[in-house]
Structure 1
Amino acid sequence: MEENYTFFDEECEELIEEWPIQNIAKFGRNLIASEIRYYLEFQEYPNSLETGFASVYNVSGWDETDAKEAFSMKNIQYSYGGNGTIRTIKNCEFFPGIKVSKEQRECLGVKVCEFASKELDIGHTSVDFSIPLFRKMFEADVEFHKQATIWQAHEYQCGHINNGIKCTGKPKLGEFTQIISSTSSKRKFIGCTNWKMGELDHRYMIIPDNIDLELLETMFNHANGIDFERDESNVIDECFMVRPNSTRSDTCPFLHKTGNHIVKGIINKKAEPCPVKFYHIIPEDLKNCPFIVTISMDLTARKLLTGSMIKAYLNGKQISDLHPSLNNQSKINYYIEKTRRSQYPFGQNILGVTYEFMKHEMSTDPYIRSIRFLDNGQYIILCATKQQLKTIKELTHIEIDMAFKRIHGKTNEWKVSAYLSHVQKTLTFVRIFTNIETAEAYKNLFEDLFTCIEKDTGEIFNFYHIHGKGLGCILADQHKGQALGLGQYLYSKYPIFSPIEHLQHIYKLCQVHYKRNIDKNKHLSQEIKDAMYLIPTLKIQDDVLRVLNNIQFCDEPGTEDWAKDKLIPWVLSGISVAFTKMDYVIWNQTPNNTNAGESAHANVNRDGCNLSLLAGIIRGCDFDKRSWESIHVNQQYNVSDSYRNKSNLTRSIQAEKRAEKRKKGKQPVLPSNKTKKKKNNSNENDENLQIDQQQNRVALEKLNIQKQMNDELEREITLLEKRKQIMN
């Protein structure tokens, strides 16, 4: 029995990793539900998933007004709020060709007693009152109304005033006869012991229908009277009272013991905000499309049964062949949820990641190396093996970039990667997950990264412009926060340079991003674009400044702001060899783009996008292990991971060929002879000018490519000479 359980646990571990990427329903560009269920009745407690749960209601036969009222978002029992914006979507992908309205709300969370049970700290994605926790919450809610009525009667003072003296009467349980449509019934109320016929404003409270009258009478007949604050028999150890966020009461009606005192707890909002968002989609024409959808933002039976691993294990058989009871999908759902809860008891977001970090913190080589929470709400999760971090210390250049597709929600993944020529492979050296991208946030990120490397190696991390050896170049895009954060970190460690001067010595900007941003400006003339392209190739500062000056004052829209941006000192040194303070050899020997980083993004994205935070970390770990194991096999057995030659020289030649193909594809289709004769005289000068410009651009690109090839050959010759010296 033990062996079977272990096998099922191992199977589910792999399946759980697959859950987040199998999307089932798409309601918009950024609104995807990984699970969808159909109902005939409104779900007051709709399920929720990190990757989206869609509850689709069939309202066939309903009157449109009644359907919108019965299946309205206001009937959800969770406490929700937000601006309540309702947008019209012309073409919802789930309802193709149909106009729908979309309303968005956020869960406001709940309020709990200061003596609340620790069980209430655990998040949930569904409500089931057969589960002990929810049963306790339900019973506490029932008891809450009883206790609240008693305490209200006790604390609510009588309002009658006679001759300037306020009534001091105590609450008492009374009874009156109510007659409705000739039918009489007796009702209980809480009144005042001093009430007399004809006197007004005495205490008078109607008892709600949900109050147990027998229990109420017992409490009023209590030995200590209604004021039983000192009666320890009413004290509870753990409070399961949960109130909506909108409740005005700030006092828990239950008695709690703290030290030698019996007190009532204070009701506060839970510190951890609820991340769930609700989306309500209603087609405008409910007659032709009788469906209303509620989406609230894990593993399902369908994904288990269709997974390739379970198919291989069953060898073509159905899962019900193992045991007839497995024909019931609810039972499979139960096993899945049980396994999921046992493996990830705190979910798969930041709390679940923290749990995994603490669980493996004492391992010899944990993948989650550190987690830091800051006062501004930022958290930094650093993930890498010791081998990955130690290798960074041996590199002369790295590429850094932020990825936005892999992790669902506000958290993004920041990578350090580089192409290693001796193994002809792009490797990722560290993955850092964070939720803020300010300069201060990046400063914290770089601090965690280099501190962890120094801790693993037991040595100070070397920067070439400071120590004369070590890391000499960091390639990146022009993200301001990232650059300034690096400069601030280096200044905090080595104040011999200002933050900007540090960047001028080590920071190099990607020219692919640089040219791509130029190409986006369709309104610019080709002459200005050519001038912009020219700046990274100029080696004299006066030439660079003259070109920038011509661009800034050319009177074309947007050029002044563009030139001012490029005149920022760290930006100018990042794109121009004439202004950089980086070692000239390092500048020439390092790439001028972040293609390695972009390819690292694309490769790991094949293992899944839009993942939960924990799933993203687990898959990143698996991907890194495969990549580094491939390097180990290559070094030990001289077996590469591909037959292709992926050296820098070969890749440059292939890039040149692709560029030539793109140019051929962009050539205009030649007009007919008749049309050509009509336009020949008027367009001859323009065509000659365009041909000259194209020839100049091609010649310039060929010179750049030839220069790169020469630099590559020069590096290879240098390496051969060093090898000869070592051999001698």
Structure 2
Amino acid sequence: MSKVNPVILSDIVTISDDETISENEYSELMDEQDANEDAEQIAFFTKYLSVSEVIHSAFPIEYPKTSPQGIATVFNVTGWANPMACFNDIQYSNNGAGGSISIQNCPYFGVPVKKDVRKCQGIKHCSFADPDFINEQHNEVDMESEMFIKLNQHQHNKKTKTYTFFLAAKSTACKYKSNNQLCDGQAKLRRIIKNGGEEYIIGCDKWVRGEKWHRYIKVPGEIDLELLRDIFQGRVIDENNNENQCCTIVSRASRISLCEFPHIQDGQVMRGTIIERKCNVQFIKFIPYDLAACPYIALVCIGTHNHPPPPPERTPVGIKDELQAMIQNIIASDDSVTSRSIIAGDFL
């Protein structure tokens, strides 16, 4: 069994007597709770913070359950080399502004704890987001639900592939140089006649015979040439409302500013902008100072998320550990195994 590493809580700046329940107050609270066996069970974490639902887990959780009244998830970190790993799998971004205090006697654990308060940082989504989808609220996540399956799903028909190809070709710079200056020519659809046949490319509108290294992108066979020609000629494209209802959600930490998928606005093909949507769900962590004596950590989530769940971007610790163990076992059992053979999938 791994030894529990000490937890360094150097950012504590205040000691909160106000949130600490004295021994007498704690006894009174418990007496009141025990007086009525039919009453709803209440778990107190501070004098003013209590929840009626406590979930126990021996593993990290990707999408901790929440509610307007608050739900606590208590992690058993006995033997964990890194007890703080219980928070590593959480897919919600929660590293924004917050604060920490010390509670001298947490009524739930009965020991001194660090209380750390953070907020859900929300999500980032495309400006063409489907309103019904982006305004979907949730307190828990069902990975088999229609909402979760819909995350980042898009049509991939011939029309959308043509839009995507046009935007990619248009944004590609021409590599031709003259007097050490890059060509600033724009993308242009061209037809090439050769060997009795023809093919289409995206070339440069400043190309002249005899010059080499101008933009040259072959048009794939899966592209709708008539539609591509209409787009390059600036003709108005019919707007399909279903194509414009985007389900793109990106990481809160992502720096991309434009949606990767095409949309139609005012008859022109374009990419949507990535905008932020904030959330006020609170994540409150209760971490005992002495995890060897009290090997439990609590996460209390309060509020309702006002957005769809963010798509998974963190690989769960359990999957990482299983993969690492699998690789180690393969290498130990066969000296001829190389990193290339593992990546190639011969042993997985």
Out of 57, 71, 76, the position equivalent to 2:86 is: 71
Which amino acid in structure 2 is aligned with residue 37 of structure 1? I
The number of aligned residues is 229
CA contact (8 A) 2:239 2:265 kept: no
**Cα-to-partner distance string for 1:90-129 (whole Å, 9 max, x where unaligned):** 2111100x22222211112222223221222131111112
1:58 paired residue number: 76
Deviation at 1:45, TM superposition (A): 1.3
1:102 paired residue number: 115
1:117 paired residue number: 130
Deviation at 1:287, TM superposition (A): 2.0
The alignment's TM-score, normalised by the length of structure 1, stands at 0.27
State the identity %. 29
Per the alignment, in what secondary structure is the counterpart of residue 255 of structure 1?
strand
2:208 paired residue number: none
Using the alignment, how far apart are the partners of 1:34 and 1:102 within structure 2?
Answer: 19
Per the alignment, in what secondary structure is the counterpart of residue 137 of structure 1?
coil
Q: Do the aligned partners of residues 62 and 121 (structure 1) sit closer, same or farther apart at CA in structure 2, a change above 3 Å counting?
A: same
Which amino acid in structure 1 is aligned with residue 115 of structure 2? K
1:136 paired residue number: 150
1:294 paired residue number: 299
CA contact (8 A) 1:57 1:292 kept: yes
Using the alignment, how far apart are the partners of 2:147 and 2:126 within structure 1?
Answer: 16
Q: Which has the higher helix share?
A: 1
Q: Do the aligned partners of residues 61 and 159 (structure 1) sit closer, same or farther apart at CA in structure 2, a change above 3 Å counting?
A: farther
Deviation at 1:253, TM superposition (A): 2.6
Which amino acid in structure 2 is aligned with residue 44 of structure 1? E
1:48 paired residue number: 66
2:249 aligned with 1:242: yes
Which amino acid in structure 1 is aligned with residue 49 of structure 2? L
Q: Do the aligned partners of residues 128 and 152 (structure 1) sit closer, same or farther apart at CA in structure 2, a change above 3 Å counting?
A: farther
Per the alignment, in what secondary structure is the counterpart of residue 99 of structure 1?
strand
**Residue correspondence of structure 1 range 197-596 to structure 2 within 5 A:** 222-224=223-225, 230=231, 236-258=243-265, 260-270=267-277, 273-297=278-302
Which amino acid in structure 2 is aligned with residue 285 of structure 1? D
Deviation at 1:229, TM superposition (A): 9.3
Using the alignment, how far apart are the partners of 2:171 and 2:257 within structure 1?
Answer: 14
Deviation at 1:157, TM superposition (A): 3.1
Using the alignment, how far apart are the partners of 1:51 and 1:121 within structure 2?
Answer: 21
2:197 paired residue number: none
Q: Do the aligned partners of residues 259 and 55 (structure 1) sit closer, same or farther apart at CA in structure 2, a change above 3 Å counting?
A: same
1:31 paired residue number: 49
CA contact (8 A) 1:278 1:294 kept: yes
Q: Do the aligned partners of residues 283 and 159 (structure 1) sit closer, same or farther apart at CA in structure 2, a change above 3 Å counting?
A: farther
Deviation at 1:222, TM superposition (A): 2.7
Using the alignment, how far apart are the partners of 1:31 and 1:159 within structure 2?
Answer: 63
Per the alignment, in what secondary structure is the counterpart of residue 295 of structure 1?
strand
2:180 aligned with 1:164: yes
Using the alignment, how far apart are the partners of 1:141 and 1:99 within structure 2?
Answer: 54
Q: Do the aligned partners of residues 164 and 122 (structure 1) sit closer, same or farther apart at CA in structure 2, a change above 3 Å counting?
A: same
Deviation at 1:290, TM superposition (A): 1.5
Using the alignment, how far apart are the partners of 2:91 and 2:173 within structure 1?
Answer: 33
Using the alignment, how far apart are the partners of 2:245 and 2:76 within structure 1?
Answer: 42
Which amino acid in structure 2 is aligned with residue 290 of structure 1? P
Q: Which has the higher strand share?
A: 2
Per the alignment, in what secondary structure is the counterpart of residue 151 of structure 2?
helix
CA contact (8 A) 2:151 2:247 kept: yes
Q: Do the aligned partners of residues 291 and 258 (structure 1) sit closer, same or farther apart at CA in structure 2, a change above 3 Å counting?
A: same
Give the alignment's Cα RMSD to 1 decimal: 4.3
Which segments of 5 or more consecutive residues in structure 2 lack a partner in the other structure?
Answer: 1-38, 157-162, 188-201, 205-213, 232-236, 307-348
Deviation at 1:265, TM superposition (A): 2.3
Deviation at 1:193, TM superposition (A): 9.6
Using the alignment, how far apart are the partners of 2:229 and 2:73 within structure 1?
Answer: 47
Per the alignment, in what secondary structure is the counterpart of residue 236 of structure 1?
helix
1:155 paired residue number: 171
Which amino acid in structure 2 is aligned with residue 34 of structure 1? S
CA contact (8 A) 2:130 2:247 kept: yes
Per the alignment, in what secondary structure is the counterpart of residue 138 of structure 2?
coil
Q: Do the aligned partners of residues 259 and 105 (structure 1) sit closer, same or farther apart at CA in structure 2, a change above 3 Å counting?
A: same
Using the alignment, how far apart are the partners of 1:140 and 1:239 within structure 2?
Answer: 7
Q: Do the aligned partners of residues 41 and 289 (structure 1) sit closer, same or farther apart at CA in structure 2, a change above 3 Å counting?
A: same
2:140 aligned with 1:126: yes
Using the alignment, how far apart are the partners of 1:78 and 1:262 within structure 2?
Answer: 32
Per the alignment, in what secondary structure is the counterpart of residue 90 of structure 1?
strand
Q: Do the aligned partners of residues 131 and 159 (structure 1) sit closer, same or farther apart at CA in structure 2, a change above 3 Å counting?
A: same
**Cα-to-partner distance string for 1:305-364 (whole Å, 9 max, x where unaligned):** xxxxxxxxxxxxxxxxxxxxxxxxxxxxxxxxxxxxxxxxxx8x9xxxxxxxxxxxxxxx
Per the alignment, in what secondary structure is the counterpart of residue 68 of structure 2?
coil
Which amino acid in structure 2 is aligned with residue 130 of structure 1? E
Deviation at 1:158, TM superposition (A): 5.8
Per the alignment, in what secondary structure is the counterpart of residue 71 of structure 1?
helix
2:332 paired residue number: none
Using the alignment, how far apart are the partners of 2:61 and 2:274 within structure 1?
Answer: 28
Deviation at 1:136, TM superposition (A): 0.4
Using the alignment, how far apart are the partners of 1:82 and 1:38 within structure 2?
Answer: 26
Using the alignment, how far apart are the partners of 1:106 and 1:80 within structure 2?
Answer: 6
**Cα-to-partner distance string for 1:607-646 (whole Å, 9 max, x where unaligned):** xxxxxxxxxxxxxxxxxxxxxxxxxxxxxxxxxxxxxxxx
Per the alignment, in what secondary structure is the counterpart of residue 91 of structure 1?
strand
Q: Do the aligned partners of residues 239 and 95 (structure 1) sit closer, same or farther apart at CA in structure 2, a change above 3 Å counting?
A: same
CA contact (8 A) 1:236 1:254 kept: no
Q: Do the aligned partners of residues 261 and 291 (structure 1) sit closer, same or farther apart at CA in structure 2, a change above 3 Å counting?
A: same
Q: Do the aligned partners of residues 166 and 28 (structure 1) sit closer, same or farther apart at CA in structure 2, a change above 3 Å counting?
A: same
1:434 paired residue number: none
Per the alignment, in what secondary structure is the counterpart of residue 87 of structure 1?
strand
Using the alignment, how far apart are the partners of 1:148 and 1:223 within structure 2?
Answer: 11
Which amino acid in structure 1 is aligned with residue 274 of structure 2? I
Deviation at 1:30, TM superposition (A): 2.8
The alignment's TM-score, normalised by the length of structure 2, stands at 0.53
CA contact (8 A) 2:239 2:267 kept: no
**Cα-to-partner distance string for 1:440-461 (whole Å, 9 max, x where unaligned):** xxxxxxxxxxxxxxxxxxxxxx
Which amino acid in structure 2 is aligned with residue 166 of structure 1? L
Deviation at 1:141, TM superposition (A): 12
Q: Do the aligned partners of residues 23 and 46 (structure 1) sit closer, same or farther apart at CA in structure 2, a change above 3 Å counting?
A: same
CA contact (8 A) 1:55 1:293 kept: yes
Using the alignment, how far apart are the partners of 2:295 and 2:58 within structure 1?
Answer: 11
CA contact (8 A) 1:79 1:109 kept: yes
Q: Do the aligned partners of residues 141 and 224 (structure 1) sit closer, same or farther apart at CA in structure 2, a change above 3 Å counting?
A: closer
Using the alignment, how far apart are the partners of 2:166 and 2:291 within structure 1?
Answer: 48
Using the alignment, how far apart are the partners of 1:92 and 1:141 within structure 2?
Answer: 52
CA contact (8 A) 1:45 1:127 kept: yes
Per the alignment, in what secondary structure is the counterpart of residue 83 of structure 2?
helix
Per the alignment, in what secondary structure is the counterpart of residue 133 of structure 1?
helix
CA contact (8 A) 1:50 1:297 kept: yes
